[in-house]
Structure 1
């Protein structure tokens, strides 16, 4: 149960965002916060101002109309609907007047019943009052004021549709501005992360090159004083690593050279003993055979170590124009001790600038790997590609599991067939020699079963 809960918690654990996404989202959130604050401030300042201006204009117009009504009444006109309708109103929708308990209105549809009682009472007590009222879904501003010297209350209604439209347009504009600001913030954040992470991208590329063994890589700070400590530290580290690798490679080269002389002596002595194997007692023949096998493996190990040491020491390619098909045929057939090579018709005359010794070693190691670990070499094929040449080596073994297809090229990597011999350096040497040529080598499945190693060599190499 505890294991199940742990598995579920690991499965549901949230994925941590990368630096680029975090910075971009942060810029977007800051832009959203700033735009919301600015929108709130704008709303709080502009909306009351619009309402105040509308109310002030309505009060001024109502005062003018009330003066006209007072003049009419002073001239002997009797209060009624006609008198109210003839008032020179500007923006007012309707006018109403109250004398005692009786109301008169310029529009029968807008009567005193729409006015709140508190508003009517305030105007009746000779106060100027304003009140927003809603009639059939439309909003009006009611402005009431007394007519001086008369027991008359005068009320005008002003349509607030225009003010509502302005407030609504302001809301839409602020919302759109907020959205645009957030998008700009996200875009700026993304651009800022690209600029800020560009040195890290160069550092990552340089570190990857160093991991592939290219120790001549160095970083440039580009005049940025903030990058000087990082680039100097990286360059010092790579320089120290380069010196260490070269020193180790020279040591391995020296040791390998020193071992070759006694090893050659032991191999020659063993060959003399094997030539006289028939005269040896039966009890010694098996130990001698085992010793001969171990000496052979030791010779392969010393040769491979010497090859690796040359690579680490920066041994350069010696390119010359090579007929690829013939070179592969000699190396493959000679290693397998039987014809195993097929050269496609379009690749029969293919000539590329290659290092003969290294390419022969690549083909020989792949064929030896197939013979030793892959149940025998099933065939070697040379074909022409759009970019150069391809060498394919097939075997009849169990194949290479997908999880091991990159690890098989590591030093001293040994697969399921390790019991059949080998020291685990052959494919590592293949990878390094192919990489020096600017090519690639991949382990794949053979359609008929077994493993397939594919080497692609470019026609236009770049050292």
Structure 2
């Protein structure tokens, strides 16, 4: 599945913002963590030196009560004091295993007369151990870092949330930027679609986006050239068709005179006259269709039209039963349409069903939202999916017509239907009819 440009740019903005915010967050976290730990170590070291001075002053002799001196210290709930004296460990609780919290490396350092500190993890909790040599032993304080760890976790959570919000903001910024940047291209795509739908007057304003002025000018030039080319083609088709009508009428009149005397001719001549008459009639139909296509660029002349009466008249003119006509409930009886064009379009669809679709089985009027709908169902083999678009092009005949070998079609009937639907601002399509056959559908406002 291909991802759109807007999605890719928005994702790139989001990833870039996430990476940048993640880097800033990690650097900020490390700096804050280093600062907080360093400050906590300094505070713990000052407090330990103060308590060590008090202990050293309270133990003037070997017979002093060590436990009483240690209990006199105001350590709070986050500090734990120890004294190593004469090979024994003393604490405020007289716990014989109190010295287990002091790392061996720190004991060796203080045993050499040097003060030091070391971070440890005891029972899953981080702590800081500070050791200071005294005249009567070595004094240790174990300072819990639980509050500091909680603060660092909260800081990490906040920075993570900030990084996620920055990434979301980057994605939103990317979406906005791409939407703004692609707006001129969207206008070009809309203009191209309008031209493809038949609105040849669509143009772009070069002053709207100065950076794309050259593109707008080139697009307008292309549209002008296309419009002039189509107008020349229509004028040529109209001129040629008009010039052909007079000699065709003469040929048709002459052929009809000879055709009325066909019984007096030999069989070969009579067959030749029949072929000539049929081809002249087909040629006349082709010229009429070409003239209709040449005039199809004119806007539709809408007027209130009784659609049921129009559909019934089309069926009656082709000797079809009026029972074919179906009107869906809630469908208005009068539509604002170009009567001549809709009648010709419907006639072409019915003729197509008669010639290639085994005959029409229903001609239906209805509504789909705010659009009028005309459907013609037939009993034929249907239209293959790959042919459902091209059969509305000029001089294209479906597989059913080719299979039958019929030569009475001009290949322009469905093209005229598509042109008339477009003149009404609508479309024509073909699909499968439930139960078999094809369903041709016209929709227009």
Asked if these proteins are the same fold (TM beyond 0.5), I'd say: yes
When structure 1 is superposed on structure 2, of 275-284 and 167-176 the one drifting more is 167-176
The one of 421, 437, 451 equivalent to 2:424 is 437
User: Is the contact between residue 323 and residue 352 of structure 1 (CA under 8 Å) also seen in structure 2?
Assistant: yes
Match of 2:28 among 12, 34, 42: 42
Determine if the alignment matches structure 1 residue 194 to structure 2 residue 179. Answer: yes
CA distance in 2, matches of 1:349, 1:85: 100
**Residue 151 of structure 1: CA displacement?**
4.5
Cα distance 1:113–1:323, how it changes in 2: closer, same or farther (>3 A)?
Answer: closer
1:289 aligns with 2:291: no
For the 8 Å contact 1:35–1:181, the answer to whether it is kept is: yes
**Distance across 2 between alignment mates of 1:185 and 1:100:** 65
1:123 maps to 2:110: yes
What residue in structure 2 maps to residue 23 of structure 1?
Answer: 9
CA contact (8 A) 2:326 2:362 kept: no
Task: Confirm or deny: 8 A CA contact 1:325 1:349 kept in the other structure.
Answer: no
The answer on 1:404 being equivalent to 2:383 is: no
Could you tell me how far apart the structure 1 residues matched to 2:325 and 2:100 are? 106
**5+ unaligned residues in a row in structure 2: which ranges?**
none
**Alpha-carbon distance change, 91 to 221 in structure 1, aligned in 2, over 3 angstroms:** farther
Aligned partners of 1:177, 1:388: CA distance in 2, in Å?
51
Corresponding pairs, count: 439
1:380-395 superposed matches below 5 A: 380-382=363-365, 387=370, 389-395=372-378
* 1:233-248 matches, cutoff 5 A: 233-248=218-233
Using the TM superposition, give the Cα deviation of residue 45 of structure 1 relative to its aligned residue in structure 2, in angstroms: 0.6
Deviation at 1:210, TM superposition (A): 1.1
> Which of 308, 327, 333 in structure 2 is aligned with 1:350?
333
1:65 pairs with 2:48 = no
Please tell me whether the aligned partners of residues 262 and 270 of structure 2 are also in contact (alpha carbons under 8 angstroms).
yes
Contact 2:191-2:204 at 8 Å conserved across structures? yes
Q: How does 1:123-142 map to 2 (within 5 A)?
A: 123-142=110-129
Provide the secondary structure at the position in 2 that maps to 1:375: coil
**Greater CA drift, 159-168 or 314-323:** 314-323
CA distance 1:409–1:191, change in 2 (3 Å): same
Q: Secondary structure at the match of 1:166?
A: helix
Q: How does 1:314-329 map to 2 (within 5 A)?
A: 314-329=297-312
Q: 1:333 aligns with which of 286, 298, 316?
A: 316
Give the secondary-structure state (helix, strand or coil) at the position aligned to 1:227. helix
What secondary structure does 2:210 align onto?
Answer: coil
Q: Secondary structure at the match of 1:428?
A: helix
Residue segments in structure 1 that go unaligned for 5+ positions in a row: 1-14, 459-463
CA drift of 1:76 comes to 9.1
Aligned to 2:73: 87
Q: Residue 94 of structure 1 contacts residue 107 of structure 1 at CA under 8 Å; is this kept in 2?
A: no
Contact 1:95 1:107 in 2 (8 A): no
Shift of the 428–274 alpha-carbon distance from structure 1 to 2, 3 Å rule, reads same
1:452 aligns with 2:435: no
Secondary structure in 1 matching 2:118: strand
Q: Distance in 1 between matches of 2:366 and 2:53?
A: 106
Q: Secondary structure at the match of 2:59?
A: helix
Structure 1 residue 34 displacement after superposition: 0.3
**Maintained 8 Å contact 2:298/2:423:** no
What is the Cα-based RMSD across aligned positions, in Å? 2.5
TM-score w.r.t. the length of structure 2 is 0.90
How far residue 222 of structure 1 moved from its aligned partner, in angstroms, is 5.9
Distance 2:32 2:437 in 1: 79
